[in-house]
Amino acid sequence: MDGKALAARMRERLAEQVRELERRGVTPGLSVVLVGDDPASAVYVSNKAKACQEVGMRGETIRMRANTTEAELIAVVDRLNASGNVHGILVQMPLPRQLRPDVVLRRIDPAKDVDGFHPVNVGKMLIGEPDAFVPCTPSGVMALLREYKVQTAGAQCVIVGRSNIVGKPMMALLVQPGVDATVTVCHSRTRNMADHTRHADVVIAAAGRAGLITGDMIKPGAVVVDVGINRVDDPSSQKGYRLAGDVDFEAAREVASLITPVPGGVGPMTIAMLLENTLQAARRSIEQSA
């Protein structure tokens, strides 16, 4: 499953929709707040800002020093909440230790919470309300499954990982009426994980452990979605490492009917869904002010 290609098609559509909103006098705007100087976070944030600009949205990055206080960060979030030009707000995780992520995330106006982490949006997603902002990675996985016409109704789906960012929202989306999967969620305390994955029609790996899912854990013909992004040592590469998913790709592709690569699978879809959420937020702000 080619997430890179699907994300590129989505960006083309989004660019057209952004132009349409501009004709109505609104440029969708995303503000990303980066606290500290974690190098991985800096890369994610600059990718997000670049993606915004590519589709004609306003992408702003607010950089704050590592010793920022909670009051300072909250003051920035409040300012963004109040700004008419900002439709989406994203505070990049992880935050430095002195900042409580739950306090900060709850401060973001749910109508601008394009990451979908505010409890209001989490609740709306769980009960299937259409106006929920859904976290971008699980929503990107759903878009891939739809694009490749993966039969989810009645399918056994096994998710490996139960984080609030990936595993749990993935579970909520897959069990919704209309998607209709039967879902098992595995985690680090799961016994005999292979007994679960071997029965799965769809395996979604989101554990952050390179090579956790081996070829013999996949049922022949199953669909495999690899969310994991792991750095593995690779002396032959210039950087000394390469990116790998949680799935042993070469072995799993021999048995799976469809599989996502890493990179080029779920990663690009995550950013596309963030743009999509920002566009939705901008649209709703127009509707509300009409």
Residues catalogued as catalytic? 48, 92, 115
Question: Which residues bind to ligand NAP, rule: CB under 6 A?
Answer: 137, 160-163, 165-167, 186-190, 193, 206-209, 212, 227-230, 266-267, 270
Residues contacting residue 140 through CB under 8 Å, at least 6 positions apart:
3, 7, 266, 269, 270, 272, 273
Pick the closer one to ligand NAP by CB: 1 or 193. Answer: 193
Cα dist. 274→7, 98, 261 in Å? 11, 27, 20
Residues contacting residue 232 through CB under 8 Å, at least 6 positions apart:
210, 241, 242, 243, 244
Pick the closer one to ligand NAP by CB: 74 or 126. Answer: 126
Cα dist. 48→11, 39, 148, 184, 185 in Å? 13, 14, 25, 32, 29
Pick the closer one to ligand NAP by CB: 85 or 261. Answer: 261
Closest distance of CB 7 from ligand NAP, Å: 11
Closest distance of CB 278 from ligand NAP, Å: 16
Closest distance of CB 198 from ligand NAP, Å: 15
Pick the closer one to ligand NAP by CB: 209 or 253. Answer: 209
Closest distance of CB 60 from ligand NAP, Å: 21
Closest distance of CB 194 from ligand NAP, Å: 11
Where does residue 197 fall: left (phi above 0), alpha (psi -120 to 50 degrees), or beta otherwise?
A: alpha
Handedness of CA 232, 136, 206, 92 (dihedral sign): positive
Pick the closer one to ligand NAP by CB: 77 or 117. Answer: 117
Distance separating alpha carbons of residues 46 and 51, to the nearest angstrom: 9
